[in-house]
Amino acid sequence: MREANPQQIPRNHLVEEALQAGARGDYSVFNRLLEAVTKPFDPRPEFTWARVPATPENAVQRTFCGT
């Protein structure tokens, strides 16, 4: 089960945070998220924040797919 499921996931609230920061010209949030999900199956303690689901306060209510 651990080998089949990723540890770090690009959850909607994390992607939204990276997009908003990027719109302000701050790409550090995107780079941090990219580093976390580059090796999603490796348990890396420095990325525990990428394993936690959204709280009700930061849950994304609407998403958009441009494909």
As for how many domains the chain has, the answer is: 1
- 16 in any annotated domain: yes
> Given a cut of 80, is residue 56 above it in pLDDT?
yes
- 42 in any annotated domain: yes
Mean pLDDT value across residues 27-55? 94
Whether the CB-CB separation of 35 and 8 falls below 8 Å is answered with no
Nearest to 12 by CA among 58, 44, 45, 46: 58
Instruction: Say what the pLDDT of residue 2 is.
Output: 66
Instruction: Say what the pLDDT of residue 23 is.
Output: 95
Whether the CB-CB separation of 20 and 28 falls below 8 Å is answered with no
Give one DSSP letter per residue of 12-54, joined into a string: HHHHHHHHHHHHTT--HHHHHHHHHHHSTTS--GGGGGGTSPP
Instruction: Say what the pLDDT of residue 66 is.
Output: 66
| Domain span holding position 32 | 12-50
Which has more confidence, 66 or 37? 37
